[in-house]
């Protein structure tokens, strides 16, 4: 199987031959930081463009089509506009927290990037508690939103932030429980182990109906955790104008905007890793010929393909459904998702113990 | 029984959500259903309806003649004082004084395009034009003189 | 319920009311002071005019008349009540406790005509700003800036 | 308006929030001051007048031919019906017999306007609930109606097609063909609306049992149109006091009894189908003849007062003209449906959540210029 180990190893060897180990670490870190930021920028531009195109075609429109072929440079132009805009801070706002909040949200999104395996042997940090790390860090982004809502000194922002708090705290539960099903099946918290465990088939195919249910619950919870419609109560355009980022403009708004899309990418990447095998190609039992063809497709394409499929699914939700009300949102979690996922976890544990899965 | 209801409720909800997604998905994969009109690009093929009320115009024929007698019926019919008809007295060949149009002032910026002036005109001298691109940089250019310089009233129009 | 019946029933308690049948509906003309009594009478059985579909005012330069269009959702009968209001000290009893729709309509009339509705719970300007001077729908209202005299 | 001290001194953890005048859910410049306790609404107080142009005062200086155009700017979504009401009042005063052809044309135009208005309402209401896609589907069908209007009347929104005594010009030769094409298309598309919104479980949960208005309150608040009919009040002017050829068409008055937002929604959805039925009955039977009665150049209404009620897309519009025998009205009053419907908003929204307020407001179908005039 094609692997990126060769590249990363050769870079490390080349550096080790010339520099002391401290400098190697520093330079490698710098490379990673540059790559991460480049990935962020690229993802932001692509995802925003993608969202606008998906929305447009679902709404029988064309979407951006003036700047570059099919309007792909539209988002770059928008970003440029946002950079040039004045970054206003309201008079009554808590200046420090107001300016701090976008960075909290952004830093959390960046931290989440660490344990994700983008391709075979291409991972920033192969931490052995990867899944735990992700569920721990991802719940921090709500702090940024709460800070933003509180510091804005705006009632809409405050209401939006409070909604967001209630929402993320409760949806964290079912997201965590559906992640646990895979952990139970794999027996490991490490991302690489989870991917390797799906070499002979992805969990969604191997794990019978309970894993499919867990997958659906995960997608719902992921949509809610990223504050996307139909769970976009924190910004609820028609109710709270823009919710927690009502008062933000210019680059500070752009950071929130970017973080939202990065978060979508990350939750979808996690979903793809856990349920759809990450970078693992699609293998069918003992069709060696077929499996061989599949192996020729680079692992990074597998990973991004699956991730973008999930992203498309979340976008599809957004452009089809109306928004839930705040109490219905919590009803859905506590009355439906949580009991179902608890029961589901029980079933999966049974499957894992009895070794019923393929 | 409670469990059965609970599950059927979830199934029904999922089905209703799926119907909606099917519809948006249906349009997503059919780019031919897009209804966007790319306006400034399709200017050449864009044809407004004949009766479309874009602005008041005064048609002149090839001899630079119009049909306005200067009767001010349009001025009286206009609800917002958009039209100002300035008349003068001309001498007819029989040496009689006759009222004629001097200047037909039209304030496009005040016009609501209701068409009452065209309806009121007894000689059909003014019409509604189809032009709708009225944006200008200077508001004063919206005050227009509708009769062309040197134009005369057509023979036989009373 | 015919117009005759209504006339008979109204002229009992309100002998000074005059009737006009030239229009589409029966019109009862009264003084402002009698309005509350008539309104209560009309709202209750047997008339049951439970639906106030228009409330407005007309400035006759010498006096105001507040005009009430009432209908009954069970009898499908409409009547008009015109109450004469003094122009120098325009006030009339509110009916917003009988027909809730009168709440907004009376505020509108107060706003545009300056008729004060006694006992109205929340008589403030509705459409114009609080500091607006004058009552624009009065015939003697002048606004040299925004009004062009023809 | 609330001063700062009032907000600070509010007891019971109440939060006073200004919704509007610029707010995505108010569809214009409506200003609501809402008192919240958490997410629960304690009080809604509308502040009007941001788009007040004093059309009533303006009309006092316009002649009976001219004032009709100004009414298109009130409820701009049912401009035709507003013009119709004014034309009817003038005709009532002058006792003009309108030719049959004109009456047919007027009613068809009214119903087309009603469908166009309800289409826009449907899209905008779904947008209030956070679904953006329905708006575009609604506009796709609405565009066909505006094109029909443009072809025959010369304008897309503020048509000014009705004149005292009939209509301004005859129908465009393609009119019948295009209307039939529209009906066919609309019938195939209305199912999509149900698939996308009506049947959706999230939508139903947002709508059912929200913004309840009892029958007594609906009558007392003077509600009309879909708002009152959803509470079981029979108030369709077209049925109760038919004007023009409404008495010759067979149609049902749509009534629901639940009184909640979903009932109001269903009324309008069913009304669209009913309007299609009416147009189908009329479109092939437009009689030949004049499209305008012969009227004098200068119209003078006799002394007296004249009141006409018509059913616009939002409810009952009353035009009250007091004439002194001059060429201009002495006093004119437009009893707009939105004004009364809005006054019931406080009653409906109290005790609900903030999201419910948007759902309720969406189903009230408010058009702000209609309220402010």
Residue D207 lies in a domain: yes
* pLDDT reported for residue D4: 47
pLDDT digits (tens, 9 = 90+) for C59-73: 888 888 888 888 888
Check pLDDT > 70 for residue A97: yes
* Contacts with D318 from chain C: Cβ below 8 Å: 53-54, 69
Nearest residue of chain B to residue D160 (CA atoms): B114
Contacts of B38 by beta carbon, 8 Å cutoff, 6+ apart: A62, A65
Q: What angle do CA A205, A187, A355 make, to 5 degrees?
A: 55
Distance from CA of D16 to the nearest CA of B (A): 36
Burial class (CB in 10 A: 0-12, 13-18, 19+), A141: buried
Q: Are D35 and D14 in contact (CB under 8 A)?
A: yes
Check pLDDT > 70 for residue C121: yes
Q: Are C16 and C34 in contact (CB under 8 A)?
A: yes
Q: Quote the mean pLDDT of chain A.
A: 83
* Contacts with D160 from chain B: Cβ below 8 Å: 114-116
Mutate to test the interface with B, among A53, A55, A58 (most CBs of B within 10 A): A58
* pLDDT reported for residue D1: 45
Check pLDDT > 50 for residue D360: yes
* Contacts with B16 from chain D: Cβ below 8 Å: 199-201, 204
In terms of Cα–Cα distance, which of A63, A321, D204, D268 is closest to B23? A321
Distance from CA of B45 to the nearest CA of A (A): 19
Percent of chain B whose pLDDT exceeds 90: 1
* pLDDT reported for residue B87: 83
Beta strands D316-323; A117-119: pairing state = unpaired
Provide the residue ranges of all domains of chain A, joining segments of one domain with +.
Answer: 88-354
> How many CB atoms sit inside 10 A of residue B28's CB?
22
Nearest residue of chain D to residue A231 (CA atoms): D130
pLDDT digits (tens, 9 = 90+) for A156-199: 888 888 888 888 888 888 888 888 888 888 888 888 888 877 77
> With an 8 Å Cβ cutoff, are A62 and B24 in contact?
no
* pLDDT reported for residue D11: 59
> With an 8 Å Cβ cutoff, are D206 and A59 in contact?
no
Distance from CA of B131 to the nearest CA of D (A): 12
Categorize the per-residue pLDDT at A78 as very low, low, confident or very high, splitting at 50, 70 and 90.
confident
Of A159, A238, A325, the CB nearest to D25: A238
Distance from CA of D261 to the nearest CA of B (A): 19
Nearest residue of chain B to residue D167 (CA atoms): B119
Nearest residue of chain D to residue A327 (CA atoms): D353
ipTM of the assembly? 0.84
Q: Quote the mean pLDDT of chain D.
A: 86
Instruction: Identify the domain containing residue D324 by its residue range.
Output: 51-372
Check pLDDT > 80 for residue D196: yes
Choose between D193 and D11: higher pLDDT: D193
Choose between A290 and A37: higher pLDDT: A37
> With an 8 Å Cβ cutoff, are A58 and B38 in contact?
no
Categorize the per-residue pLDDT at D5 as very low, low, confident or very high, splitting at 50, 70 and 90.
very low
* pLDDT reported for residue B137: 92
Please state the rounded mean pLDDT for residues D117-133: 88
Of D57, D61, D240, the CB nearest to C136: D57
Partner residues linked to B152 by β-bridges: B65
Partner residues linked to C70 by β-bridges: C52, C79
Contacts of B138 by beta carbon, 8 Å cutoff, 6+ apart: none
Burial class (CB in 10 A: 0-12, 13-18, 19+), A313: middle
**pTM across the whole model:** 0.87
Nearest residue of chain D to residue B122 (CA atoms): D297
Please state the rounded mean pLDDT for residues C120-148: 82
Please state the rounded mean pLDDT for residues A7-18: 78
Distance from CA of D7 to the nearest CA of A (A): 12
Residue D27 lies in a domain: no
Chain D positions touching chain A (beta carbons under 8 Å): 15, 17, 23-25, 36, 39, 126-133, 135-137, 140, 196-197, 200, 202-203, 205-206, 353-358
Check pLDDT > 80 for residue D84: yes
> With an 8 Å Cβ cutoff, are B24 and D199 in contact?
no
Residue D81 lies in a domain: yes
At D269, is the secondary structure helix, strand, or coil? helix
Pick the CATH number of C3-118 from 3.30.460.80, 3.40.710.10, 3.40.50.12170, 3.40.140.10: 3.30.460.80
* pLDDT reported for residue A285: 67
Please state the rounded mean pLDDT for residues A126-139: 83
Distance from CA of A214 to the nearest CA of B (A): 15
Mutate to test the interface with D, among B74, B115, B128 (most CBs of D within 10 A): B115
Least confident of A99-108, A172-181, B101-110, D9-18: D9-18
* pLDDT reported for residue A357: 67
Question: A225 and chain D: CB distance < 8 Å anywhere?
Answer: no
Nearest residue of chain D to residue A331 (CA atoms): D205
Structurally, chain D folds into a number of domains equal to: 1
Greatest Cα-to-Cα distance within chain C, rounded to the nearest angstrom: 52
* Contacts with C58 from chain D: Cβ below 8 Å: 322, 330-331
Q: Quote the mean pLDDT of chain C.
A: 82
pLDDT digits (tens, 9 = 90+) for B143-152: 888 888 877 7
């Amino acid at each position: 199987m094609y692997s990126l180990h060769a590249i990363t190893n050769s870079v490390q060897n080349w550096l080790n031959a010339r520099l002391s180990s401290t400098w190697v670490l520093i330079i490698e870190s710098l490379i990673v930081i540059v790559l991460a930021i480049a990935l962020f920028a690229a993802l932001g531009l692509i995802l925003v463009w993608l969202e606008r195109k998906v929305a447009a075609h679902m709404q029988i429109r064309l979407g951006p089509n003036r700047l570059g072929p099919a309007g792909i440079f539209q988002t770059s132009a928008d970003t440029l506009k946002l950079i040039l805009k004045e970054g206003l801070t309201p008079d009554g706002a808590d200046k420090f927290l107001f300016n701090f909040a976008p960075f909290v949200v952004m830093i959390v999104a960046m931290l989440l990037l660490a344990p994700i395996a983008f391709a075979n042997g291409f991972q920033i940090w192969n931490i052995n508690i990867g899944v735990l790390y992700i569920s721990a860090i991802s719940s921090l982004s709500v702090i940024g939103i709460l800070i933003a809502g509180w510091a804005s000194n705006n009632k809409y922002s405050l209401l939006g932030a409070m909604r967001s708090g209630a929402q993320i705290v409760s949806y964290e539960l079912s997201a965590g429980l559906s992640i646990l099903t895979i952990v139970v099946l794999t027996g490991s918290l490490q991302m690489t182990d989870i991917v390797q465990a799906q070499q002979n088939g992805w969990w969604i195919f191997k794990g019978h109906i309970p894993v499919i249910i867990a997958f659906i619950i995960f997608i719902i919870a992921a949509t809610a955790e990223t504050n996307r419609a139909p769970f976009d109560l924190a910004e609820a355009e028609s109710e709270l104008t823009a919710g927690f980022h009502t008062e933000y403009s210019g680059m500070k708004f752009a950071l929130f905007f970017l973080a939202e899309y990065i978060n979508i990418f990350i939750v979808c990447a996690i979903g793809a890793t856990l349920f759809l095998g990450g970078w693992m190609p699609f293998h069918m039992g003992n069709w060696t010929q077929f499996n061989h063809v599949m192996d020729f497709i680079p692992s990074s394409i597998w990973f991004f393909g699956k991730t973008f499929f999930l992203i498309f699914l979340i976008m599809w939700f957004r452009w089809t459904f109306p928004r839930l009300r705040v109490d219905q949102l919590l009803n859905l979690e506590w009355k439906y998702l949580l009991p179902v996922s608890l029961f589901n976890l029980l079933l999966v544990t049974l499957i894992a113990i009895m070794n019923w899965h393929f | 029984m409670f469990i059965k209801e609970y599950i059927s409720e979830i199934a029904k909800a999922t089905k209703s959500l799926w119907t909606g997604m099917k519809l948006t998905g249906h349009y997503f994969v059919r780019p031919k259903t897009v209804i966007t009109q790319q306006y400034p690009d399709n200017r050449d093929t864009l044809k407004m309806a004949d009766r479309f009320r874009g602005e008041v115009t005064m048609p002149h024929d090839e001899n630079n003649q119009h049909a306005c007698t200067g009767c001010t019926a349009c001025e009286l019919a206009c609800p917002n004082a958009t039209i100002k008809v300035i008349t003068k007295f001309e001498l007819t060949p029989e040496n009689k004084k006759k009222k004629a149009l001097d200047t037909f002032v039209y304030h496009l910026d005040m016009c609501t395009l209701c068409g009452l002036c065209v309806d009121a005109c007894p000689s059909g001298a003014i019409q509604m034009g189809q032009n709708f691109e009225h944006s200008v940089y200077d508001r004063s250019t919206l005050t227009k003189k509708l009769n062309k310089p040197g134009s005369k009233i057509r023979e036989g129009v009373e | 319920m015919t117009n005759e019946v209504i006339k008979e029933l109204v002229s009992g308690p309100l002998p000074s009311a005059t009737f006009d049948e030239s229009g589409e509906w029966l019109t009862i003309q009264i003084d402002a002071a009698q309005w509350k009594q008539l309104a209560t009478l009309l709202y209750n059985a047997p008339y049951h005019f439970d639906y106030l579909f228009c409330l407005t005012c007309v400035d006759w330069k010498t006096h105001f008349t507040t005009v009430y269009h009432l209908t009954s959702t069970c009898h499908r009968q409409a009547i008009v009540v015109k109450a004469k209001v003094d122009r120098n000290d325009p006030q009339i009893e509110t009916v917003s406790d009988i027909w809730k729709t009168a709440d907004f309509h009376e505020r509108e009339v107060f706003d545009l005509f300056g008729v004060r509705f006694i006992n109205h719970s929340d008589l403030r300007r509705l459409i114009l700003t609080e500091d607006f001077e004058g009552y624009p729908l009065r015939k003697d209202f002048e606004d040299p800036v925004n009004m062009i005299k023809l | 308006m609330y001063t700062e001290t009032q907000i600070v001194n509010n007891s019971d953890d109440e939060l006073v929030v200004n919704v509007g005048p610029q707010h995505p859910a108010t569809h214009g410049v409506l200003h609501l001051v809402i008192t919240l306790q958490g997410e629960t609404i304690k009080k809604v107080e509308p502040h009007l007048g941001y788009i007040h142009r004093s059309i009533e005062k303006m009309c006092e200086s316009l002649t009976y031919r001219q004032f009709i155009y100004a009414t298109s700017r009130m409820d701009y979504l049912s401009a035709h019906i507003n013009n119709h009401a004014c034309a009817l009042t003038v005709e009532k005063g002058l006792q003009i017999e309108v030719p049959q052809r004109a009456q047919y044309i007027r009613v068809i135009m009214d119903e087309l306007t009603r469908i166009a208005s309800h289409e826009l309402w449907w899209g905008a209401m779904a947008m209030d609930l956070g679904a953006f896609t329905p708006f575009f589907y609604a506009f796709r069908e609405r565009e066909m109606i505006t094109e029909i209007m443009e072809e025959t009347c010369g304008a897309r929104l503020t048509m000014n097609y009705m004149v005292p005594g009939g209509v301004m010009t005859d129908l465009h030769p393609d009119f019948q063909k295009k209307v039939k094409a529209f009906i066919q298309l609309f019938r195939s598309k209305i199912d999509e609306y149900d698939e996308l919104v009506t049947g959706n479980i999230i939508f139903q949960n947002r709508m059912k049992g929200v913004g309840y208005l009892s029958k007594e309150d609906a009558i007392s608040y003077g509600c009309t149109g879909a708002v009152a009919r959803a509470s079981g009040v029979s108030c369709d002017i077209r049925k109760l006091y038919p004007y023009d050829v409404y008495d010759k068409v067979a149609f049902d008055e749509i009534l629901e009894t639940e009184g909640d937002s979903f009932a109001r929604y269903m009324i309008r959805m069913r009304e669209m189908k009913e309007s299609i039925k009416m147009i189908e009955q009329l479109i092939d039977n437009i009689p030949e003849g004049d499209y305008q009665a012969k009227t004098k150049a200068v119209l003078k209404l006799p002394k007296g007062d004249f009141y006409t009620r018509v059913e616009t897309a939002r409810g009952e519009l009353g035009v009250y003209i007091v004439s002194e025998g001059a060429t201009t009205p002495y006093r004119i009053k437009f009893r707009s449906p939105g004004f009364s419907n809005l006054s019931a908003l406080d009653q409906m929204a109290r005790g609900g959540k903030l999201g419910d307020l948007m759902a309720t407001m969406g189903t009230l179908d408010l058009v702000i210029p209609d309220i402010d005039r």
